[in-house]
Chains A and B, each alone.
Chain A
Amino acid sequence: MSPSRKWVRRGVVTAALALVGAALFAAFGARSSGAAQTRSNGRPANKIVVLVYGDAQNPVEQYAVNTYNKTAEGKKVKAVLETIPGANYQTKLQTLMGSSNAPDVFFNWGGGSITQFQKAGLLLPLNSFMKANPKLKSSFLPSILNAAKIGKNYYGIPMRGTQPVMLFYNKSVLAANHLTPPKTWADLLSDVAALKKGGVQVPIALGGADQWPTLMWFEYAYDRVAGPSFVTDALAGQSSLWKTAASNKALADLGQLINAGAFGPSKSWDSVYFTKNQTAQMVISGQAAFELMGSWYYSTIQSQSASFAAKSLGYTAFPSIPGGKGNLNDLAGNTENYYSVLAKTRYPQAVADFLTVMYSPTFVKKELGLGNLTTTTSTPALITGTTAPYLKYQYSLIKKAPAFQLSWDQAWPQTDSNAIHTAVAGYFDSLDAGTFETAMAGLKPAS
């Protein structure tokens, strides 16, 4: 080939590739700087997507979607329920929200779980919905609505129930070992010893592989020993609190329980999940006696064995730790779960109509049937049936609780949750207080 031909060829190839590259850059550049208007036109037609945390409670959420779809608006704009398995929910949600296929309505925990979305301008303030339909505001307990309020705007409508964390137990196993539910920390330790003697290899089931169930033990230990103000101050930025004597005592108490083999052989809990129903099965079958879990535990057990849930599932408050600053009636857990709305949703009216199902009596009754203590003003009147004792117990706990600590991985910003989970799991494995305290002190405080 003659030299000039060679160079012509090379020039053509380079030009072609450059053109392709330029075209690409232009295409992507234009898209990313495009106005929100372009995006909303790309949203699906006559459909709103409701995204929820995938677990045993989804049938009731499907019921709500079906109820809405039967209404006049529902026949025009259909609602579709999408689920993400619970273990992956929070990680998937963020990647979804950043994409062009973000859901119109999505499940969250209020508080820290929605701040980064609100900051990025992705959430629709619900004040206008509430003005058009005052019942949307008046049907719910004010304190609950406030937990999803940022500044002057409401961003969440409650959709499940309030979720205190309680100590659940297998009634038959305790009876077989002549034990009563523990009221103090010392009771718990002696119960564990008795259970081990009685052949229960894993007295307290712990879904360590999920990491957040481990966190619950810390939430209560710190509350009982250091008092509820500890977390409030730590959130405000006082990271030195993690190295105080109170913090060390809380950790030491937990260490005592771990060393007593309460959770099984060392590190065995890292092979066990809550989200896969493994720990629930352990409690049902009697391999374990206790599990510390949020109130949704009832529906989890119910999905595995309805008869066990109705007859053999016991529940009690977390034991007290004498000498600590915390009140034995303090609670930890999730305030509620909320539906938040995407700012660029294509059918706001459909969404507003869907949200009204959240306070309809039939929906509330179904939630109560799962053992969820709903936070509507109508709730006390609607409590009936097999779950009534469970619900009344929860209600009594909440009524007398001076403080309700929001789960740490929801209270701190989302970007910290990975670090929190690693720290708590690490402490249970290594019992190294120093590493734990340094990790927690390094969290970025909520702004």
Chain B
Amino acid sequence: MAALAATSRQRRRKSSGGLKIGRPSFLWSLPAITFFAICAIAPLCVVVWLSFTSWDALGSPAWVGAGNWRTLFHDPTLRNSFKVTAILTGLGIVTQTPVSLLLGVWAAGYQRNRAILSALYFIPLLMSATAISIVWLSLLDPYYGLPHELHWLFGNGFFEHGYLFSYPSTAIGVLTFVGMWQWTPFHTLIYQGGARAIPQVLYQAAAIDGAGRFRQFLYITLPQLRNTIITSVVLMLVGSLTSFDTILILTSGRPGISTTSTSYYMYIKGFQQFDFGSASVIGVLLVIVSTIISLIVVRASGWDKMRSTQEGV
């Protein structure tokens, strides 16, 4: 009995490559973690410290204890910024997920024309966020852009005569649309990869059972894309929390504060009002919130253990 157990233990060790030779020591990880500590973790610690100081970029930070935290707790703009961030994030997920999913599944097919079209859909990914926002800003100019040329579309009522940046609803609409234009190609690729990984045998079995296209989509494609959907949504969540370039270029947080997201408010507080202490408070809040959200989603979905969708195939 003991001998059997011993051999099985030995075998287990062997199959997991239990020999010490050839295994890297932790020193292999030292350069990367040191660099990361200096350039990424150190700023994280400093932002916490800065949030308890008052600094205007001239001179040295002066300790003020919890003063910034207390003031910001009562700040209506900050509270509104949470709402704005939530709205923009929610709208982003709701607009981008269906489109990317459908496009990705469609593009996963191996037909010739789909490959060409996929290459075309990829084009927005070649452009930087800055370039995309700048092009759309130019295109949406009320007097020289699309609203002027397509005034039959932008006319009365719905698009507020083409002054898209003057009203909160249309300003948020613009941000959502540009976000969708920018990110759908990326998520389409993710879904395309996920859809390509679905074993054909599942579809064939369903076809034999008489399931039509729609039922196949609902009962095979969607469940198999579970991990992909989670990945995509998590990326959207974290990305949306911090989307900044688009807001800076298109609306500058206006009209009023209706498009001032939390991360944009942090920029205003720091680099326009020169209240770097308060800006650091908001920075700390952003770190906490994004960490919590990621942790919740990851735990709830078991992403870090990456259960395979291929079990039982």
Contact = CB atoms under 8 A, between A and B. Distances in A.
Interface of A: 9, 13, 16-17, 20-21, 24, 32, 91, 94-95, 97-99, 116-117, 120, 122, 209, 265-272, 278, 281-282, 287, 414-415, 418, 422, 425-426, 429
B30 interface: yes
B271 A267 contact: no
Nearest to B58: A120
A120 B60 CA distance: 10
26 contacts: A9-B26, A13-B26, A17-B37, A91-B272, A94-B56, A94-B57, A97-B58, A98-B58, A116-B56, A120-B59, A209-B165, A266-B166, A267-B163, A267-B166, A267-B255, A268-B161, A268-B166, A270-B165, A270-B255, A271-B164, A271-B165, A272-B143, A281-B143, A414-B274, A426-B256, A429-B256
A47 to B, nearest CB: 23
A20 B35 CA distance: 10
B143 A282 contact: yes
A97 B166 CA distance: 34
Nearest to B45: A21
A265 B166 CA distance: 10
Contacts of B166: 266-271
B291 interface: no
A-B CB proximity, top 5 nearest:
A98-B57, A267-B166, A120-B58, A271-B165, A270-B166
Contacts of A429: 255-256
B66 to A, nearest CB: 21
B99 to A, nearest CB: 27
Interface residues of B, number: 31
Contacts of B141: 278
Contact of B167 (A20, A267, A269, A415): A267
B146 interface: no
Contact of A270 (B56, B57, B254, B275): B254
Contacts of A20: 34, 37-38
A20 B40 CA distance: 13
A57 B256 CA distance: 31
A24 B142 contact: no
A91 B167 CA distance: 26
B53 to A, nearest CB: 13
Interface string B31-51: 000100110001000000000
A252 to B, nearest CB: 22
Interface in B143-177: 143-144, 161, 163-167
B272 A271 contact: no
Contact of A97 (B34, B57, B161, B272): B57
Contacts of A271: 142, 163-166
Chain B interface helix/strand/loop/mixed: loop
Interface string B206-225: 00000000000000000000
Interface centre among B34, B37, B255 (most CB of A within 10 A): B255
B233 interface: no
Nearest to B257: A422
Given A17-B37, A414-B274, 13 more contacts: A9-B26, A21-B42, A97-B57, A98-B58, A266-B166, A270-B163, A270-B165, A271-B142, A271-B163, A278-B141, A415-B56, A415-B275, A426-B256
B128 interface: no
Interface centre among B60, B144, B252, B274 (most CB of A within 10 A): B274
A431 to B, nearest CB: 13
Contacts of A415: 56, 273-275
A16 B163 contact: no
B298 interface: no
B268 interface: yes
A270 B165 CA distance: 7
Contacts of A91: 271-272
Contacts of A122: 58
Interface in B208-259: 252, 254-256
A142 B273 CA distance: 33
A268 B143 CA distance: 11
A265 B255 contact: no
Interface centre among A20, A97, A425 (most CB of B within 10 A): A20
B256 A16 contact: no
B150 to A, nearest CB: 16
B30 A16 contact: yes
